[in-house]
Amino acid sequence: MAKAYSGMRRKSQLTDQELRHPQAMTHETNPNIPPGLQVLPASPGSVISTDYTPEDAIRQIQKIKPDFKRGDVIPNDLADVIDRHIKAYQEEVRRQVAEEKRTVLPPGALPNQAPLAMPQEVTIESLPPAKQAEIRGYIEEVTRKVKQRDEIDKATAGLPPDVAKAYREAARDPGPIKPQESPAGVKAESPTPPAEPKAELPTAPKHCPQCGWDIHNPDTAAVSDEDKLRYVTAVVSGKRFYKDYALFGGRLRVTFRTLLTKEERAIRDQIYRDMLGLLPVVTELHLMQMSVQTQDYRMALSIESFSNDSGTEDCPEFDDLDFEVKKDEVKTMHANIVEDLLKTDIVTDAVRRAYGKFAALQAWMLANASNPEFF
């Protein structure tokens, strides 16, 4: 089932001329090219231009080669000439320092600055009582926070990353309470501080704070032993993970693939451009729409193949496509997948739900990556 997507084609369909010299120009095809500028690609070692040497570059070269002027070819050994010039300058500085018996100070040191003296070690008991109390209080505070952090790490072990993040934020220590300021002219009394209660950690949340899903449900994602084996094999080999889903009693089938890093980056760039188009006013509704659009972009780039009664269509990878308009490539591919391949809202919604299961499967296996009993 061959399809001609609008606005893009496979890179294998490009002509040899487009692949070899996509930017090639000649003086005949473009009369605006200055005569002194050689057209690329040029042979190695050839002079590219003699008319466009910047004045600043000329002045820099003349410091090394005083006879250099506009139109001269930059010598091939210019780097060696600069290196010899720098070494000669360094030798001259060393000679002047040796003759005048000057002292070369380290970077940042001042001529009249006294040498730094290392502080002497003292015991806490030798300090005044107030200073002792301050230092001991600081040590106790650090010890308490370290213990609390260890307890939080133990409580969040095995939880999905988003849930663990929400748990940590809920358990975060608010720090010491600042005393209220007294009104002007009224002397503030120093109340006796109450005994500090023992910090109690909140219980682990039952539902995800973002989507409300029961995170303690053992059936969060249906993961078979075959899924685990193929997922781990794909991860350690640096390849994609694939999974097939049957829809409408098997009359439709869709296969998804995990995305590459450059594809995720392309999706983020596309969402950024979409957000710029909403300026200067971006509402909460817009942000919700961008979240849904992000998932739709991921779904479109994740479809490996789609089958129906008419046959099977293999979807090309994003990097294998050449787009006529070098802008909004992700949006173009999403539009072609939805309009030319899926066609109807019913099929699109069914494929979107199947992709939700595929994304949940990935997230659940990733959340258990450090769980030795899971795999």
For residues 221 and 145, which has the higher predicted lDDT (pLDDT)?
145
**Which residues face 244 on adjacent strands?**
255
CA distance 168 to 149: 9
Rg, the chain, Cα only: 34
Residue 257: the pLDDT is: 94
Residue 180: the pLDDT is: 43
| CA 113 vs CA 103, 107, 120, 165: distances in Å | 13, 13, 20, 50
Above 90 in pLDDT, residue 256?
Answer: yes
Above 50 in pLDDT, residue 22?
Answer: no
Least reliable range by pLDDT among 69-83, 90-104, 129-143, 164-178: 164-178
Residue 303: the pLDDT is: 94
pLDDT digits (tens, 9 = 90+) for 268-306: 999 888 888 877 777 888 888 888 889 999 999 999 999
Beta carbons of 315 and 305 less than 8 angstroms apart: yes
| CA 333 vs CA 7, 8, 68, 336: distances in Å | 9, 8, 54, 5
Q: How confident is the model at residue 33 (pLDDT cuts 50, 70, 90)?
A: low
Residue 255: the pLDDT is: 95
Helix (H) or strand (E) segment spanning residue 314: strand 311-314
Above 50 in pLDDT, residue 24?
Answer: no
Beta-strand (E) ranges in 167-293? 242-247, 252-257
Can you tell me the mean pLDDT for 356-366? 89
Residue 179: the pLDDT is: 43
CA distance 166 to 170: 6
CA distance 53 to 60: 11
CA distance 90 to 93: 5
For residues 163 and 330, which has the higher predicted lDDT (pLDDT)?
330
Q: What's CA 228's distance to the chain center, in Å?
A: 27
Above 50 in pLDDT, residue 176?
Answer: no
Q: Average pLDDT of the chain? A: 75
Separation of first and last alpha carbons in the chain? 39
Least reliable range by pLDDT among 6-15, 111-120, 161-170, 236-245: 6-15
For residues 30 and 248, which has the higher predicted lDDT (pLDDT)?
248
